[in-house]
């Protein structure tokens, strides 16, 4: 029993140490770093004004702090709730959600692992953990976790994640299959349509890819990733005017000209590239280093 409490306190301190770096003064950081005694932990938390009467009180105060944009304070309240009830899955889930929102993925991973230690067959947490692992670029473990999910239930998020992994690994047919399964569960999702389009684009199925991008943009005309991907496709087909028009919907005229010019340069269409890069420099309100660098690169290529 004592050993279990020791492990719990260690995990608590690992999480707490990340937050105290920004939430406490240097004296408290030094004190916290020199001791893992629970009484001193309480003193640190009390000194920051974290007086709570129960887990429910701590969670309520954490949620209010987060709603007010006080994320450091919210984290400390959640840690206090965790210290009061280390096995409270609801607290661990809220901590994980907050850490994902703050892009503190290592801390989110700790929370998800603590949940799965208690409930290894929890498919929702397994899915969330798998998707988190994609953000951490741990693709083999992400694939393993998401694979366990789809083996037991149909989930568009899990299939989408598996499609992303397959695409990153260069298995475009496999990616296409996963995205289609996701689309069958959640049809007409701009995100899934865009992902399908990118898988087809990567597999050189350009006409099919264009149809998915167009459908995604019909549903959500302001979807920037789909706009950008559609523009890339048009430029790859040497349809530079169409590419520029698409780029301009998601970026400034200078950026749109530079992007179009860069792809034209990569296509070997040097005259078109020069026109767009020159226009990028003219249309920029200040010196546009990226376009200037691309123009210099183009001049070198033309002399070869």
More reliable by pLDDT, 47 or 259: 259
Is there a contact between 160 and 191 (Cβ–Cβ < 8 Å)? yes
Summarize pLDDT for 158-180 with one digit per residue, the tens.
999 999 999 999 999 999 999 99
Report CA-CA distances (Å) from 234 to 197, 267, 298: 13, 12, 21
Summarize pLDDT for 9-61 with one digit per residue, the tens.
445 444 544 554 444 443 443 344 444 445 554 555 554 557 888 999 999 99
- pLDDT interval class at 285 (50, 70, 90): confident
Q: How far apart are CA 87 and CA 136, in angstroms?
A: 25
More reliable by pLDDT, 1 or 108: 108
Q: How far apart are CA 188 and CA 216, in angstroms?
A: 7
Region 117-138: what's the mean pLDDT? 96
Distance of CA 9 to the CA centre of its chain: 30
Give me the residue spans of the domains in the chain: 1-86
Q: Tell me what pLDDT residue 27 has.
A: 40
Q: How far apart are CA 178 and CA 184, in angstroms?
A: 10
> Helices 253-267 and 289-303 sit at what angle, rounded to 10 degrees?
20
Given a cut of 80, is residue 256 above it in pLDDT?
yes
Given a cut of 70, is residue 130 above it in pLDDT?
yes
Given a cut of 50, is residue 184 above it in pLDDT?
yes
Residue 157 CB partners (closer than 8 Å, separation 6+): 127, 131, 182
């Amino acid at each position: 029993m004592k050993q279990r409490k020791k492990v719990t306190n260690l995990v608590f301190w690992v999480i707490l140490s990340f937050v105290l770096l920004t939430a406490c003064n240097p004296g408290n950081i030094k004190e916290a770093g020199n001791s893992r005694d629970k009484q001193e932990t309480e003193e640190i938390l009390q000194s920051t004004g974290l007086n709570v009467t129960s887990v429910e009180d701590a969670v309520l105060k954490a949620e209010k702090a987060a709603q007010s944009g006080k994320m450091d304070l919210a984290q400390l309240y959640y840690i206090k709730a965790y210290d009061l009830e280390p096995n409270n899955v609801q607290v661990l889930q809220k901590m994980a959600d907050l850490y994902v929102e703050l892009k503190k993925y290592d801390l989110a991973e700790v929370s998800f692992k603590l949940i799965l230690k208690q409930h290894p067959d929890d498919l929702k947490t397994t899915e969330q953990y798998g998707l988190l692992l994609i953000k951490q670029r741990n693709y083999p473990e992400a694939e393993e976790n998401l694979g366990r999910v789809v083996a037991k239930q149909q989930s568009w998020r899990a299939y989408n994640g598996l499609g992303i992994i397959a695409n990153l690994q260069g298995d475009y047919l496999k990616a296409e299959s996963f995205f289609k399964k996701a689309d069958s569960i959640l049809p007409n999702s701009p995100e899934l349509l865009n992902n399908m389009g990118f898988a087809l684009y990567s597999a050189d199925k350009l006409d099919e890819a264009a149809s998915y991008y167009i459908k995604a943009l019909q549903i959500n005309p302001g979807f920037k990733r789909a706009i950008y991907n559609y523009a890339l496709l048009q430029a790859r087909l040497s349809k530079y005017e169409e590419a520029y028009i698409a780029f301009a919907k998601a970026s400034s005229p200078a950026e749109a000209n530079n992007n179009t010019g860069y792809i034209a340069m990569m296509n070997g269409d040097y005259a078109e590239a020069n026109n767009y890069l020159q226009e990028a420099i003219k249309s920029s309100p200040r010196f546009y280093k990226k376009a200037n660098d691309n123009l210099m690169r183009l001049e070198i290529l033309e002399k070869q």
